[in-house]
Structure 1
Amino acid sequence: MNGNSRILIVDDSETSLNILERILKSCGYENIQKASGAWEGIELLDDAETQKEKLPDLILMDIVMPQMNGIEAVQRLKTHPVYEHIPIIMISVKNDTQTLSDAFEAGAADFILKPVSKPVLKARVDAIIKLKLETDKRKQQEEELKNLNRRLEELNQVKNRFLGTAAHDLRGPLASIRGFAEMLTDELNGALSEDQAEMLSMIHETSHGMLSLVNDLLDYAVIESGRLSLLKQEGDLKKIIDRRLNVNEPTAAKKNIRIRRELEDVGIASVDKNRIDQVLDNLLGNAVKFSPQNTEVTVKLYKDRTGIALTVADQGVGISEEDIPKLFGEYCTVSSKPTDGEKSTGLGLFIIKSIVYAHHGSFSVKSKKGEGTEITVRLPAETNL
């Protein structure tokens, strides 16, 4: 450690300079510079900075010097954006309270009384050099971490742009495939064999699933890039929820799952209707996905002291206690499995969490393995107009 450390000695006495140099070299410090005054010391630092050379790890500064004393020199160095980080030990024959106070107030790291004792000088220099090297190492690691985080952020933005572009380019063709499958099913109804009807149904269902995946990826890219915005409009929240339940009922009916409605009139609210539809679709979709046939999903809308609450409760497989904290994370996968082998991206709950937070809302989850799950979305009181 000592051999690589640079020390600058600043003293107007040639004798003091030589004594300090000799002691330091006997302690293993070989890389030593000397300056016969404060101005010369500052010039040496300026030259090193200009030449992009390594600056000293420590400065030993005499206090009593002509033209500029040591305390004035320390004050000047500690206001310099590059030199302010170099530790300085003041050395002087003066050890009165005022001198000590002025030295430390100027920014000195330590103080040694002349004549200098080798054990004292070695102990003080070793300690400060060690601290300086540890501090430099930590700063280097912090800078490397900043650069790494910056690079990761750049890569994340590239990834989000790719996801957004790819998902956007896929959405149109998938919507067309689904639309043509619906059109063929409607127009050729009765003219199709059982196998043909089944194949068209598979095309429709597969394209619908892929379109949902693509939409999730688009939403994820928007959220990750910080571009999620709300188009709030005034609307009757009970009617918004009621209409969306009508849309979701046919999907639930395929598993003979009944959607029970307990919707109170909560008044007019300022929300992004499309995003609220998305929240309900996802909560209901998960409730149906993880519920066995011939069960019930209950949807409640009500007001309490905190604002408006929307609850979706199922009688499904439930969620283990250890899975609940990661439920709304990105690409969430839990130990519970869909009852009919349904697929998902694992992004749905992450997306609706972001939508609810954008409405300044919150979530709560109650679940027990084998006994169903209840998820409540709360919107603040100010949502009501």
Structure 2
Amino acid sequence: MSIENQDIRKNFRQYLEDITIKYIPAFAISSIAIISWFAYSDLFIRQSVNAFYTRIIPLIIGISLLLFHYIDKGKNKNIEFKLYNIYMFSALIMMYAKYLVYLPFEGDSFSVTGIIVVIFAIALDYKVSFRVAILSFFGPLAATVVIFLFFAELPDSKWVNYSNLFPMTIIAFIANRAHYRLRFRLFESNYLLNIEKQNTRELYEESLSTNEYLQEKNDKIEQQKKSIISANKELRKLSQTKDKFLSIISHDLKTPFNSIIGFSNLLSDHYDDFSDEDRKKYINVIDKSANNTYKLLDNLLEWSQLQYNREELNLEKANLFLLGNEIISLLKQTADEKDIVLINKIDADTDIVVDVNKIKSVMRNLVSNAIKFTYSKGFVTLYCKPVDGHLEVAVEDTGIGIDRDKINRLFNISEKVSTPGTNRESGTGLGLLLCDEFIKLHNGKISIESEPGKGTTFMFTLPQNISTTQMLTQVKSTQ
């Protein structure tokens, strides 16, 4: 096993420990209460002492786990995690033992449905290695087989009933491993993605240092590069979004998760029933849904920041031409995949005073939308011109255009307008809402010109040739 894989598995185990310990109080208290009720029921209602005895060990371990959790206070997470798995194992043995207790009974009064459900539920959250899982599920089964074959003879009429344990155990084991493996794969994907982000960030910071050196050779380039470096070093503050906004996007956030959960459960429950082609198809659906969810959450974070920092603008002087080039570079791969040409016609000496991060977000969303709704071999063009003391920036495409009735609804938060792209790309309309809010913060406005079948132009205005102090005064006067 490579060092990287060892590191991933180590972090995955830590992740399992953390989420398990987090929910131990609720889980332990509820499960202890349930087992206690069944123990009382076995003793005083069903009057089955043997069934009552099967509850004692899980109760002792469950209470011990709960006490250890509060006494230890997270100092020995590894021990607490092992004690949790022992508790789960004892509950599993309890259900097998319960089955054996009722094995002698005949007729319709005895049903294994409840036992099957509990064993399957335990299997889904039993967080152990492959070897331990084999011993946990098949060890007790093998032990009882040996006992019945060599020490305590089981009547022939009971073997059919007893054989129900075999499919129950096999299904529980498969469910346990499928669920455990799916958890690991999702964790591994996120882990590798974070590493890739870190490497990219380090590489980007390296390139910024190189840019700083080059700026020293040319005074004009130095000013432009300093603006970009300053803008890229700013950190976005994260916060929770408002309940009103969460209610609006709840459907769009739940839909991909429904796909992920639905198809993962399908694979978990019926993995062996599908062909390799079907499995690949379901995994692709899960992958696409996860990526769509990530894009939505990215915009959600920007929106939530805006809700809690609505009056904050980090104004600075920037070169609009260079910002356009940066956006084109960022989206070039997406455009190349659809054979679309990105063109920057902004004058190279166009300087503005803006919140660089917010304007980059506006340009990124508008160019990304233009690519989404433009056919192959099309063009997306950036240009600007002075209009009444302001600078009008435009993103023009040769795409499918927008109907007149939809244009008036695009920036209304109470409306949901979502049209698939030329390659069936999905969207939520959240990006345009962000653009509208960010431009309003700059005391500007955004507008649209479009004709179905002939393309669309998004335009927004920004203050031109104005100092930072003047810009702040204008923004505050409008709030």
Which has more radius of gyration? 1
TM-score, structure 1 length as denominator? 0.46
Name the structure with the higher strand share.
Answer: 1
TM-score, structure 2 length as denominator? 0.37
